[in-house]
Amino acid sequence: MRYRAHPLLHLDLQRWRMRLTLALLFGGFAALSARAVYLQVWQSEFLTDQGEKRVQRIAPIPAYRGMITDRRGEPLAVSTPVETLWANPREANPSAAQIQSLAHILEKNPDHLRRLFADKSKAFVYIERLVEPPKASQAKALDIAGLHGKPAYRRYYPAGEVTAHVLGITNIEDQGQEGLELAFQSWLAGEPGAQRVVKDRPGNVVEILERIKAPKPGRDLALSLNQHIQYLAYRELSDAITRNQAKAGAVVVLDARTGEILALANSPSFNPNSRATFEAARLRNRAVTDTFEPGSTMKPLFVAAALDAGVANPETRIDTGPGWFVIGDKRITDTHPKGVMTLSDAVQVSSNVALAKIALEMRGEDYWRLLTRAGLGAQPKSGLPGEVGGRLRPSSSWRPIEKATMSFGHGLSLSLLQLARAYTAFANEGVMPGLTTLRRESAATGTRVMSPDTARQVLAMLERVTQDGGTAPMARVAGYRVAGKTGTAHKFVDGSYAGNRYISSFVGLAPASDPRLVVAVMIDEPNGKEYYGGLVAAPVFSRIMAGALRFMALPPDAPFDQGSAPPGATPVVPESV
């Protein structure tokens, strides 16, 4: 059986159509070939550059922050390598098990992590910053898409709260925020480097092409602190705060010759390694930023001004009468009336009446001038952030009652660091060296505060304060001669002096034959059985000074007998406040 082909299946294409079709096909291939040749030959550099821009990135290389050490090279602040974990939620779709495992590794709430990954409106979120390398490795081993790590450094402070107020802290970006970390930020920080890397689409670095700039590590910083003395000061201060149920306290230890700060401690303190302890009250460096009325610890400076002005000498006799006298409508009193006494006796028993009577006989500007030379009213320039200058009004504005009260430390204010520095003048025959938080190899240039004779005479008076009959026999150190002065001042609260709130203090020097160390102790609002400076602050001084003298191997200058040791039951003369 034969079938005829259907007419529609019989195509009789005209030759020109076939040729046109072939021409279009070959023309298209020719155009594509020409375009390819053009791009590969004449546009090669442009295309290569565009391709590299899509896969190559300039990645920062974090710089190692400089180490902080004490004067003997003991590390006080070091940077440790860590990793910051971040994620791109748009690329991430972790399972419930992965979320749970990540939360367990990072010790975080699983619901919080789940919300971070679920927010697809963001292409970058921090999962956890400054993670220890082992934990970061465990987290990345979970193979969660879109989870990445970035190298970083975290600051670590081996001594914790002991050195917290001096060193300060860094923020999460490793930038100084408080203390010497802030003051020496540019010195410690260094400069980050840069490198060119190839990243895949998820953002992982698959190849390091070149190092554009090497990171420049920060420089190390050697402090004047002696870590052993610092620990001793903090331990004894903390114990005194607890024992006396006090609000707070501070201690400063200075090398009297060089002006170096060997220790500076505050209580309460904080742990710079744990941000959970960061509270405003704990972060305050009270020895530097807080001012207080120093009370009787100012009497040696007043006596020095009187001696320099020729108004009195150590044997000048003053009649304190019944132990009180009146200026205007104000009454100045002594705790224990002593009648007629010499100026040396007045310092030993801390007589307000005796010094107030001398103050009325001398010009206020003589006292003001000495206080100004001793650094009161101006920042001490130790290098610590937040320094205050205190309050010292011009002598021209002093009324008679103010001249009198200024002689025993009321009507002016200063920081404990300023007070400790002023006492260095008694150790250096009238010259006060500049302060520093950095290690010095030699004595610093100083400022003359008083004459050499005056400094020696006042130092002798201060030594009597620690002997039997003085206000501070509890400040004595076995085997050493000690000189110093107690202070017990009513706190100035809401425009008036509080009757039962005190600042107890003691500032002293040793060995008195050739003073090398100055230790200042301040206890804020002791609420225990005692509040006198000779009973609250002086024992703290004794223990700190004894340990510091041993650490520095300074030779004894007194026999190891009962006369140089702190007394057992010897009565302490309460000081007038």
- Catalytically active residues, by annotation: 296
Q: List the one residue out of 445, 426, 402 whose CA is nearest residue 507.
A: 426
Whether the Cβ atoms of residue 253 and residue 512 lie closer than 8 Å to each other: no
SS3 294: coil
Residue 319 CA to residue 230 CA, distance in Å, equals: 44
83: its two tokens: 């990793």
Which residue in this structure is represented by tokens 């007045």? 346
Peptide bond into 571 cis (omega under 30): no
The length of the chain is: 577
Which residue in this structure is represented by tokens 């034959």? 513
Strands (E), 203-278: 205-213, 221-222, 248-255, 261-267
* Interstrand relation of 517-524 and 248-255 (parallel, antiparallel or unpaired): antiparallel
Q: List the one residue out of 312, 447, 435 whose CA is nearest residue 371.
A: 447
Residue 529 CA to residue 550 CA, distance in Å, equals: 31
Peptide bond into 268 cis (omega under 30): yes
Residue 561 CA to residue 222 CA, distance in Å, equals: 39
What angle, 0 to 180 degrees and rounded to 10, lies between the N-to-C axes of helices 96-106 and 110-118?
A: 120
What angle, 0 to 180 degrees and rounded to 10, lies between the N-to-C axes of helices 452-465 and 299-309?
A: 140
CA 438-441-442 angle, to 5 degrees, is 110
The residues, any chain, with a CB within 8 Å of residue 379's CB and separated by 6 or more, are 387, 388, 389
